[in-house]
Structure 1
Amino acid sequence: MVSLFCRRLALALGLVILASSLTFALIASAPGNAANFLAERAAGPKATHALVEKIEHDLGLNDPLYVRYGHWAVGTVRGQWGESLRTGRPITKELAERLPTTMRLLAGGGVIALVMPLILGLLGAVSNGGPVDRTLRVLALFGASAPNFFVGAMLVLLLSVKLHWLPAFGTTGFASWVMPWITVGLFPTCVLSRVVRVSLQELMSRPFTTTGFAKGYGRTEVLLREALPNLAVPFLTTFGAQFALMIIGAIVVESVFAWQGIGAFFIDSIRFRDFPAMQAVLMTFVTFFVLVNFVVDMLCMAIDPRIRRSHIAGA
């Protein structure tokens, strides 16, 4: 198990390094010049070409790409991403202030995406083609097709404008978190509910469920006692992928509900061509994605010994 952990950790670090180099190259090749932006902010319309050249030299923008990447990578390891071109503050401090907001959004949406699919999938499996199962299938299709900004707008229109139940924006308390949580968690909930429903249907044809019926259990008991425990690995694998992708939905949701998280900071960085901040945020997203999948991979190997044996045999 220790050797598997080390190999998986090395693979995760390799993916982070590869993704960071691609991200840096992508941002570096984007149109626009950070030196021009800084010169205009410092001197306004009177910014001279000499000032632009001086800023390029000070920032190392004239260095080869691999040299610039090396400097940036060393700073990343040290937790030093420089200063934001837009605010002039250290990027690390900007992210540290906004990270709790984004983590709260992901945590609430993650709980919804973890619990609700199991409930909905079980209800559909118990109904097994009945009205409840058909209704849940239609709702899951609609929820998986609706974009986040549409869901958020509809929730604001209904729950805030029409019914006045919840605040439309801000992070003033629990009531202001409900709609963002639902918005960011709806898509993974709908996808995972279908995964649970289809997987349970397939598991119900396995010999161990037939044995459960032979013991005198009803359909609900067989689902809970026999089929559901065998759903752990595929459910966790799919949940990990969906939870990691929720960081993309968070960018939209934070803008819709005026949450000042990392997603909103990323949007502002794009608008103002704040290249250092864009690189830092993308690196944060990449690390989060790889870390979530690494943790899920380890959990699946801990739960199912067959996965451990297959990895050992293939080593």
Structure 2
Amino acid sequence: MQRMFMRRVGLALLLMLAATALTFWLVTAAPGNVAALIAERAAGAGADGEMIAKIADDLGLNDPLPVRYARWLGDALTGDFGVSLRTGKPMAEEFAERIPMTLALLAGGGVLALVLSLAMGIAGAASNGGIVDRVLHGLALVGASTPNFFVAAMLVIVFSVWLGMVPTFGVAGLTSWLLPWITIALFPASVLARVVRVNLQDTMSRPFATTGFAKGLTRSAVLLREALPNIAIPYMTTFGAQFTLMIIGAIVVERVFGLNGVGAFFIEAIRFRDFIGMQAILTLFVVFFVSINLLVDVLAMLADPRLRRPRKA
């Protein structure tokens, strides 16, 4: 178990290293001159070629790309991600202000997706081809096919503009989180509901489920007591994948609902060609993706003894 855990951690670190190197190269290769942007910010129209060259030399922008990456990685490991070209503040301060907002959005959306997917999947399996199963199947298809920005717009029009039940913009109490949570949770909840439904249907055909029926248990009892625990691993892995994708949805949701999170900052960094901000946020996304997948792998190994067995050659 310990060897497998260390192997997974090692692979995760290698993946982070490769991903950060790739994103560093992509951001560096993007059109634009960081030194020119900094010079224009400092001197406006008075920035000249000599000033730009001096800034480039001071920042080491003329060094080979591997040297620049190694220097940036060393600083990032100490928590120094540079200074945002758009706001003029260190990225560490920007993260401290914005990460809690994004985490609150992801946590609420993740819990909502978890509850909705289990409720829809179990209800559909209990109905087993009945009207409830067909209705939930249709709702899951619609939810998995509707983009976040359209869901957000419809929710705002109905519940904020027409009914006036919740705020449309910013954070002003718990009610202001309801629409963002629903928006970001709809797609993963719909996908996970189908995962639960299909896996429960498959599990119900196995011998231990037949034994449960022979004991006189109802279909609902067999679903909850026998079948549901046996779909934990596929559900867990799919939930982890969907949860990591929610960070992409957060970019849209934060902009629509005026949440001052990392996703909204990323859009602004792209608009203002804030290369340092983009690099820092892309690195944060990479760490988030890899860390969540590593956590899911570890939890799956703890839950299923078969995954802890060493592979035979």
TM range (shorter): over 0.9
Amino acid at match of 1:35: A
Q: Say yes or no: does 1:69 pair with 2:31.
A: no
Q: CA deviation digits over 1:104-149, x for unaligned, max 9?
A: 0000000011111111001000111111111111111111111111
- Cα deviations across residues 269-311 of structure 1 (Å, max 9, x unaligned)? 11111111111101101101111111111111101101111xx
2:119 counterpart residue number: 119
User: What are the within-5 Å matches in structure 2 for residues 52-201 of structure 1?
Assistant: 52-201=52-201
Could you list the per-position Cα deviations for residues 52-88 of structure 1 after superposition, in whole angstroms to 9, with x for gaps in the alignment?
A: 1111111111111101100100011111111111111
How far has the Cα of 1:4 moved from its partner? Answer: 1.2
Q: Tell me the residue number matched to 2:290.
A: 290
Provide the secondary structure at the position in 2 that maps to 1:259: coil
1:314 and 1:159 map into 2 onto residues whose CA distance is 57
Query: Aligned-pair distance for 1:314?
Result: 4.2
1:141 maps to a residue whose letter is L
Partners of 1:103 and 1:313 lie apart in 2 by: 37
Select the residue among 298, 310, 313 that pairs with 2:311.
Answer: 313
Give structure 1 stretches of 5+ with no counterpart.
none
- TM-score under structure 1 length normalisation: 0.98
Question: What letter matches 2:82 in structure 1?
Answer: G
Q: What secondary structure, in the 3-state scheme, does the structure 2 residue paired with 1:296 have?
A: helix
Q: Give RMSD over aligned pairs.
A: 0.9
The one-letter code matched in structure 2 to 1:154 is M
Q: Distance in 2 between matches of 1:78 and 1:314?
A: 40
Once residues 147 and 63 of structure 1 are traced to their aligned partners in structure 2, the CA distance between those partners, rounded to angstroms, is 43
CA distance, structure 1, for counterparts of residue 148 and residue 54 of structure 2: 44
- The count of residues paired between Structure 1 and Structure 2 equals 313
CA distance, structure 1, for counterparts of residue 145 and residue 32 of structure 2? 35
Shift of 1:45: 1.9
Structure 2 spans left out of the alignment, 5+ residues: none
Separation of aligned partners in 2, 1:84 and 1:287: 20
**Shift of residue 46 of structure 1?**
2.4
Divergent runs of 4+, >3 A: none
Distance in 1, Cα, partners of 2:143 & 2:203:
25
Structure 2 partner of 1:16: 16
Paired residue type of 2:279: Q
CA distance, structure 1, for counterparts of residue 63 and residue 249 of structure 2: 36
- CA–CA separation in structure 2 for the residues paired with 1:263 and 1:188: 18
Partner of 1:224: 224
Q: What is the alpha-carbon distance in structure 2 between the residues aligned to residue 41 and residue 141 of structure 1?
A: 49
Equivalent residue letter for 1:126 = A
Distance 1:261 1:314, change over 3 A: farther
Amino acid at match of 1:71: R
Q: Deviations over 1:28-60 (max 9, x none)?
A: 000111111112122222221111111111111
Distance 1:147 1:231 in 2: 28
Distance 2:116 2:86 in 1: 40
Q: Secondary structure at the match of 1:197?
A: helix
Q: Report how far residue 92 of structure 1 moved.
A: 0.5
